[in-house]
Structure 1
Amino acid sequence: MKAIRRFTVRPVLPDALHPLSDLARNLRWSWHAETRDLFQSVDPERWTASDGDPVRMLGSVPPHRLAELAEDRRFLRRLAAVADDLRDYVTGDRWYQTQTQIPDLPAAIAYFSPEFGITAALPQYSGGLGILAGDHLKAASDLGVPLIGVGLLYRHGYFRQSLSRDGWQQEHYPVLDPNELPLVPLRESDGTPAQVSLALPGARALRARIWLAQVGRVPLLMLDSDVEENDLGERGVTDRLYGGGSEHRLLQEMLLGIGGVRAVRTYCRLTGHAQPEVFHTNEGHAGFLGLERIAELAEGQDGQDGDDGNGGLDFEAALESVRAGTVFTTHTPVPAGIDRFDRELVAHHFGPDAELPRIDVERILGLGMETYPGGEPNLFNMAVMGLRLGQRANGVSLLHGHVSREMFSGLWPGFDPDEVPIASVTNGVHAPTWVAPEVFRLGARQIGAQRTEDAMTVGGSDRWDAVADIADQEIWDLRRVLREQLVLEVRERLHASWRQRGAGTAELGWIDGVLDPDVLTIGFARRVPSYKRLTLMLRDRDRLMDLLLHAERPIQIVVAGKAHPADDGGKRLVQELVRFADDPRVRHRIVFLPDYGMAMAQKLYPGCDIWLNNPLRPLEACGTSGMKAALNGCLNLSVLDGWWDEWFQPDFGWAIPTADGTATDDDRRDDLEAAALYELLEQRVAPRFYERGQHGLPDRWIEMVRQTLTHLGPKVLAGRMVREYVERLYAPAARAHRALAPEAARELAAWKSRVRAAWPRVTVDHLEASAATTTAELGTTLSLRVRVALADLAPDDVEVQAVSGRVDSQDRIADASCVPLKPAGGPDLEGRWVYEGPLSLDRTGPFGYTVRILPTHRLLASGAELGLVTMPSEEVGEEAGVLMR
């Protein structure tokens, strides 16, 4: 018999235990060991059965046990101490509150992401993007950064993965009850649930309830469309993460962006929280937030006023104000990874009969259309909209910043990719979440618990340098304990997986011998798109078998990963790996664990000796799993991609050589790189792990572990990442936002309009150079004289630059130096201006120079912002020449 309605009956906590409820509702417990230990002591068996979820556990503790605890003075003292610690954590000053050297810190920042990986108890993530977003919130909380997170609440989350008997991926979508999750509904002052609403075509509405997850100091607002006021179709908008067709995804992204801004306004109104000055969109999914903010300003909301007849700004002025306070982060190294929608589908959902009726639909479309060479003219690109609506943008590693500038260079025609205004902030990971308790305790014994906690949150290489003083034996013993824990975890998970695949208990005795706590252990776990090359290790199966079964230096491999439900190619890769791992000859040395997620990862990263990563370079934007492994003393073996390209040193890891030349086909490339991987494992990695010094320890391996912790530890922290966002993006965005008061926004919009109209008539008419000598020798100074036409613009509207540097065989300037030239007097009779200035020949070899004209204004973030540049014509350019010495 099936119930027609389900709900959760909560226990009534005795008054003395009420702080337990507050502790359970603040997700700081997910990374705070003392809080988790307290909950475990409530009922160890139920804590294990609830998978470490205090909300679920408290719902199952019998009343008599709660009554016992309410009389247990020792427990009450522990409870009071942990509750006081949380109170100090969320109210006391932290890093952000003590900054006096960073001007213009924003009062609040809104951080939007389609997924958040905070804890396995709140399964609202699919992979690295969500885990990164969760770590961003946690690090912001630790540092005291006034962030408000905004996302969606998916009633089915991302899928759970199992395997069929023949190794084919199976997807399952368990229904999540928000009342059983560590969430509370945001309520209006009269107690009714707070909601936001979006207008849909056909006089329909999409409504969503606002749920609140408290992540330490940071509120996370999550929008849920499964409310009774919605029709069936609208109730399903937030059903699954990355599910459904194009219109389903579009509605999700409209709800996240437009509904998310409205949710932030509602939250701030109800709680008195400061309104955000900066809006950060984590990937393009939330890009519509900029349109909602433009609509607010056009309607005179958000503290702005105006003179367009309705008390607000016109579209162009509102756009400038919104851009100033917006930060856009791209995580995608390939165009195929970006959400793009048919032009007509987007147009259908905006305008007089749908959302944002006061904004002309063509203006909305203009923000996202691929109107550049090579673009698809009928596709609306969410990343393009994110870049056009954000004055500041960044990739997530140095290499990815370079890739992004190349990929989006069409938006800034005439500029070299290196000048495209997309910076980079390399991702980091939240150490308290990912560092094993045993690693933390070792650090605490060495430098104290508080300094260890500070090292993992604030950073500082001086604290990490203390690893140098830890004895080799202690490090090696720790690594062995972590490896053994992983072996036990793998056996338990493998047994459960085989039972799901239909195996009987009698045929699973072999699992007790799977993996060996004294064998070199390699981990490989991530999503399974083709570019991550899950099966590269299988290119030469005989050679892999030799490595796995080596008599003296065996290796063992733990593999995990999910293919997207619609990606049959990825599922075939999973099946190929699973079938190899099922071979009785090697199944004790290589395993595939289904349902990769946070709970598994927290055991997997610490227990591995090597973290393997072999994507197609440069398609890994950053990749953070290797960072989490490194924080536990695991060494990285990776292609030089993402963060590893930036920070690799042979002192603490290995780089897999790549064969990415244009003349190498895909199969040949994979064969070469797989062979390089085998060679490294056979000749360098395994010998170093197994060789023993005079004290019976692998001295050189332990030294690499030490170097990993001391050199990578401070770099890979999410705290370092968030500090960079504050200093390099949030504070400048807040400064720009404050500068773009209504009158300044109108001024900037009018100036841009005037510049764009005049620019086709801005020209370089004449260029000449003279030198003190007739030869181009190092140290020579040229005197440049340039005559330019500025049309209706004035010298204050432009900057005329001399651009110089080494040149290649096609006369392209590399490592360019830009020196502004100055006007020499007023305009001549033809209205031309003459600019002059020196140019120093400061390097030897092939050298060249040119001049260019850029728009300039005090409120621009960069000279490339408008995408306008004027260069000399070929005839004028011939006068510039290429100087050789």
Structure 2
Amino acid sequence: MKALRRFTVRAQLPARLSGLAELSVNLRWSWHPPTLELFESIDPDLWVSGDRDPVRILGEVRSSRLEDLANDDAFVQRVDDLVADLHLYLAQPRWFQQQVDSGADLPVGIAYFSMEFGVSEVLPNYSGGLGILAGDHLKAASDLGLPLIGVGLLYRSGYFRQSLTADGWQAERYPSLDPQGLPLRLLTDESDSPVLVHVAMPGDRVLRARIWIAQVGRIPLLLLDSDIADNDPELRGVTDRLYGGDQDHRVKQEILAGVGGVRAVRAYTEYHSLPAPSVFHMNEGHAGFLGLERIRELHAGGLDFDSALAAVRASTVFTTHTPVPAGIDRFPADLVRLYFGDGTAESSLLPGIEMERILELGRESDPAVFNMAHMGLRSAQRANGVSKLHGIVSRGMFDELWPGFDASDVPIGSVTNGVHAPTWASQRWLDLAARTVGTRTMEEAQGWEQLAEVSASDLWETRSALRSDLVAEVRRRVRNSALERGSTDAELAWTDEVFDPSVLTVGFARRVPTYKRLTLMLRQPERLRAMLLDPVRPVQLVVAGKSHPADDGGKALIQQIVRFADQHDVRHRIVFLPDYDMSMARYLYWGCDVWLNNPLRPLEACGTSGMKSALNGGLNLSIRDGWWDEMYDGENGWAIPTADGVVDENRRDDLEAAALYELLEKSVLPKFYDRGDDGLPARWVEMVRHTLTVTGPKVLASRMVRDYTQQYYGPATRAGAASISDDYAGAKAMADYRRRVDAAWPAVTVTDVEADGLPDTPVLGSTLTLSATVGLGGLGPSDVSVQAVFGHVDQDEQLGDVVTVPMLHQGSAAGGERFLADTTLPLSGSVGYTVRVLPHHPLLAGDAELGRVAGPSPM
């Protein structure tokens, strides 16, 4: 008999154990080993069967056991001590407060929007790297003391759970999640009624959502939930599952995340008497509609659209994780018209705002399409990719928004992602560090550097123990998967021999889009088979990953791997583990000796899984893409050579697969199995040490969040303050300036350029005086930046490797204003120059921001 509804009833805790409730609902436990150990000690068997979920433990543990613990003075003292430790963690000044005390101009609040958050496997609100990154961002922000609020949606089925059919095809199921059984609490008003967010929908309907709060250390994560009786059945299903449904369903989700998310932030900060966030951060374009809601707020307060947009842009940061245009959300413009209306009705989503102004923000080359990433870039003054290489890729991918600029001038920077060490580093490393160099934690860079003092034997012993832990977990999961696929206990004795704790273990786990090339390792199956079965230097390979439910191509790749791994002669050396999630990922990052990543360069934005492996002494074997392109140093792993420029994809895959096999056979395997008289692989262990002590500090999420704070949040705070002070004088001035630039720019041109002082045979460093007459079309000299641009000249007379030199205003001249630069030649070889004019205003983040550039008139 099937239940009509599922809900969770929590146990009544004895008074002496009341602190357990507080500890269970603050997700700091997910990265705080003493708290995890406390909950495990309540009932070790239930801890494992209950998926290591404190809330579930407290709901299912026997009352008699709780009474026994309440009478155990030592246990009660542990609870009280950990509650006190949590209170200290929540209250004490941390890095951010120290920066503010030292005079740094930093935000009073940051609202961080993401479509998914991977904080813990017990809160399955994530699908892959984007969500895990967002979760790590919140945890690091908490550790550093940032006044940040996370904003997203609560999906009643999360992302799907994956299993395999008998023939190796991916199957999906969507378990129903009960918010009351999760580490969440409702935002309620003074009468203890849920606070609801209201968002207008077409047909005079209203989408309502309540706000669940996941407390991530010091950081509140607000999750909007539409599954309430106040909504009709269609609107109740808006937050049903992550990345499900058609475009109509998805645009409703993104409207709720952006528009509803801002309203949830307002409700939360007002109820808790907190200052309104001074910076809004969009983690990808999914929540891009938040900019429109903030414009609506300011417009309702009396600002015109342009001034409101200027104020919103100044205080908004946009991060793109997308390396390919196909990864961007693009909606039919008519669908956006349907949901946002014409702005004339008070009941519309954005009353008073013209539809054409909305469409303008998401405009791309096809007028029938609304581009969410374009809207994010147009409504944020500061934007970044998530690795140095991805910053370069992003500048090229979005250069159509800056016509006339070289890609290198596009104002998109980069902050390389990081990972939260306390979440992803094995406790074995923390214990080793504590035994060897004291009790310093691994939250800061110095903790990892201390591992330089650990002996080679201790490093190898730790790596071997982690590999053994992984082998046990692989055997358990392989057996469970085989049972799910139809095997019986009687035919599964072979699973006890899967993997060997002494064999080099390679891991490959991630989402399964085509560009990540899950099956590159199978390009030469017999060559791979020979490595797996080598009697002297074998390798074992663990593979995991989920394909989007609608991606049959990705499912076919998984099936290809599974069918190879099902073969009797190799099934003890290669496995595919279904249902990849955070709980599985930890074992993989801890235990794999080598982390394999072979995307099609440069389509990996960052790829943080390899960072988590590095935190545990794993060596990366990767295409130089994403983070690995900038952090590979020759001692922390191997770079797979790429066949860049080869147009034929099959041939490129063949070449890069051959390079992968070659590295494994000639370098990776020999280093691992080359043992000294002491039984240690000395060269391997030193690479492990180098990875832990040199690469480890670079990949920390604490470094990433500091970078965002200093390079993006701080400047956005200052720009936002300048735009709103004196009754929005800055925003109004910027709006007026943009209107003047738009009107004048067609007439802005460089009419005359002269060079003086260049010798007959110029050498590097020779002095050159360059002057130019510029027609400004009614703008003043202070409204523009005039630059001399030098660069190497190719056969098409195009400049590359450019160097810019500012030109100073000298006064009026016939035909315009005169500008001059005295400079030394900065380049050798075939060199050319030109002059360009850009808008300039003190409230712009940079002169390229408005996407306007003018140069000499064509000859």
TM-score (norm 1): 0.95
Aligned to 1:670: 653
Aligned to 2:86: 86
In 1: Cα distance, 2:432 partner to 2:23 partner? 26
Aligned to 1:464: 448
Aligned to 1:826: 812
Q: Does 1:803 align with 2:786?
A: no
Q: Does 1:189 align with 2:190?
A: yes
Say which is worse superposed, 323-332 or 271-280, in terms of deviation: 271-280
In 2: Cα distance, 1:102 partner to 1:771 partner? 47
Aligned to 1:320: 310
String of CA shifts for 1:16-75, please: whole Å, max 9, x gaps: 111100000000000100000011111112111111100001001121111111111100
Helix, strand or coil for the counterpart of 1:48?
helix
Preserved contact between residue 804 and residue 849 of structure 1 (Cα < 8 Å): yes
Q: Does 1:549 align with 2:533?
A: yes
Q: Does 1:338 align with 2:339?
A: no
Match of 1:643 among 623, 627, 639: 627
Preserved contact between residue 792 and residue 800 of structure 2 (Cα < 8 Å): yes
In 2: Cα distance, 1:772 partner to 1:368 partner? 48
CA drift at 1:827 = 4.6
- Look up the equivalent residue of 1:52 and give its one-letter code: R
Aligned to 1:870: 854
Helix, strand or coil for the counterpart of 2:203?
coil
String of CA shifts for 1:156-213, please: whole Å, max 9, x gaps: 0000000000000000000000000110111011110011011011110111010000
Aligned to 2:219: 218
CA drift at 1:660 = 2.1
In 2: Cα distance, 1:414 partner to 1:217 partner? 45
Aligned to 1:75: 75
Match of 2:410 among 413, 420, 425: 420
Say which is worse superposed, 841-850 or 631-640, in terms of deviation: 841-850
Aligned to 2:800: 814
In 1: Cα distance, 2:449 partner to 2:847 partner? 42
Match of 2:388 among 377, 386, 398: 398
Helix, strand or coil for the counterpart of 1:293?
helix
Aligned to 2:137: 136
String of CA shifts for 1:572-615, please: whole Å, max 9, x gaps: 00000000000001000000000000000011111100000000
Distance 1:63 1:482, change over 3 A: same
In 2: Cα distance, 1:756 partner to 1:369 partner? 17
Aligned residues: 851
Aligned to 1:307: none
5 Å-filtered alignment, 1:593-608, equals: 593-608=577-592
- Look up the equivalent residue of 1:11 and give its one-letter code: A
5 Å-filtered alignment, 1:137-156, equals: 137-156=138-157
CA-based RMSD = 1.1
- Look up the equivalent residue of 2:616 and give its one-letter code: N
Q: Does 1:261 align with 2:253?
A: no
Preserved contact between residue 102 and residue 727 of structure 1 (Cα < 8 Å): no
CA drift at 1:278 = 0.2
Q: Does 1:63 align with 2:63?
A: yes
Aligned to 2:284: 283
Aligned to 2:662: 679
In 2: Cα distance, 1:808 partner to 1:32 partner? 57
Aligned to 1:121: 122
Match of 1:754 among 736, 740, 743: 740
- Look up the equivalent residue of 1:673 and give its one-letter code: E
In 2: Cα distance, 1:349 partner to 1:727 partner? 37
Aligned to 2:689: 706
Helix, strand or coil for the counterpart of 2:340?
coil
CA drift at 1:839 = 2.8
5 Å-filtered alignment, 1:42-61, equals: 42-61=42-61
In 1: Cα distance, 2:821 partner to 2:268 partner? 55
In 1: Cα distance, 2:758 partner to 2:429 partner? 67
Aligned to 1:361: 355
String of CA shifts for 1:761-794, please: whole Å, max 9, x gaps: 1111111111163332233211112111111111
Aligned to 2:676: 693
Aligned to 1:732: 715
- Look up the equivalent residue of 2:800 and give its one-letter code: A
Preserved contact between residue 418 and residue 701 of structure 2 (Cα < 8 Å): yes
In 2: Cα distance, 1:200 partner to 1:865 partner? 34
Q: Percent identity?
A: 60
Distance 1:465 1:504, change over 3 A: same
CA drift at 1:80 = 1.1
In 2: Cα distance, 1:3 partner to 1:475 partner? 52
Say which is worse superposed, 570-579 or 795-804, in terms of deviation: 795-804
- Look up the equivalent residue of 2:361 and give its one-letter code: L
String of CA shifts for 1:312-370, please: whole Å, max 9, x gaps: 20000000000000000000000000000000000110133631122111100110010
In 2: Cα distance, 1:205 partner to 1:788 partner? 55
In 1: Cα distance, 2:854 partner to 2:262 partner? 39
In 1: Cα distance, 2:238 partner to 2:691 partner? 44
CA drift at 1:102 = 6.4
In 2: Cα distance, 1:573 partner to 1:548 partner? 20
In 1: Cα distance, 2:181 partner to 2:390 partner? 39
Helix, strand or coil for the counterpart of 1:826?
strand
Say which is worse superposed, 753-762 or 837-846, in terms of deviation: 837-846
Preserved contact between residue 560 and residue 596 of structure 1 (Cα < 8 Å): yes
CA drift at 1:417 = 0.6
Q: Does 1:208 align with 2:209?
A: yes
TM-score (norm 2): 0.98
In 2: Cα distance, 1:216 partner to 1:723 partner? 18
In 2: Cα distance, 1:173 partner to 1:861 partner? 45
In 2: Cα distance, 1:59 partner to 1:440 partner? 31
Q: Does 1:656 align with 2:640?
A: yes
Aligned to 2:398: 408
In 2: Cα distance, 1:7 partner to 1:509 partner? 39
Preserved contact between residue 26 and residue 213 of structure 1 (Cα < 8 Å): yes
In 1: Cα distance, 2:758 partner to 2:39 partner? 81
Preserved contact between residue 102 and residue 731 of structure 1 (Cα < 8 Å): no
Gaps of 5+ in 1: 301-311, 876-885
String of CA shifts for 1:111-159, please: whole Å, max 9, x gaps: 0000000001000000000000000000000000111000000000000
Helix, strand or coil for the counterpart of 1:457?
coil
CA drift at 1:5 = 3.5
Aligned to 2:767: 781
Preserved contact between residue 802 and residue 839 of structure 1 (Cα < 8 Å): no
Preserved contact between residue 115 and residue 257 of structure 2 (Cα < 8 Å): yes
Q: Does 1:518 align with 2:493?
A: no
Helix, strand or coil for the counterpart of 2:352?
coil
Aligned to 2:296: 295
String of CA shifts for 1:73-103, please: whole Å, max 9, x gaps: 1001111111111000011001101115563
Q: Does 1:437 align with 2:427?
A: yes
Preserved contact between residue 317 and residue 748 of structure 1 (Cα < 8 Å): yes
Q: Does 1:4 align with 2:8?
A: no
In 2: Cα distance, 1:338 partner to 1:53 partner? 35
CA drift at 1:853 = 0.7
String of CA shifts for 1:738-782, please: whole Å, max 9, x gaps: 000111111110111011100101111111111163332233211
Helix, strand or coil for the counterpart of 2:697?
coil
Aligned to 1:157: 158
Match of 1:767 among 723, 742, 753: 753
In 1: Cα distance, 2:701 partner to 2:795 partner? 43
Preserved contact between residue 561 and residue 594 of structure 1 (Cα < 8 Å): yes
In 2: Cα distance, 1:228 partner to 1:137 partner? 31
CA drift at 1:442 = 0.8
Match of 1:851 among 831, 835, 846: 835
- Look up the equivalent residue of 2:158 and give its one-letter code: G
Preserved contact between residue 202 and residue 354 of structure 1 (Cα < 8 Å): no
Gaps of 5+ in 2: none
Preserved contact between residue 128 and residue 510 of structure 2 (Cα < 8 Å): yes
Preserved contact between residue 405 and residue 418 of structure 1 (Cα < 8 Å): yes
Helix, strand or coil for the counterpart of 1:751?
helix
CA drift at 1:730 = 0.3
- Look up the equivalent residue of 1:261 and give its one-letter code: V
In 1: Cα distance, 2:285 partner to 2:764 partner? 48
In 2: Cα distance, 1:702 partner to 1:3 partner? 55
Q: Does 1:791 align with 2:791?
A: no
In 2: Cα distance, 1:150 partner to 1:788 partner? 48
Match of 2:378 among 373, 381, 388: 388
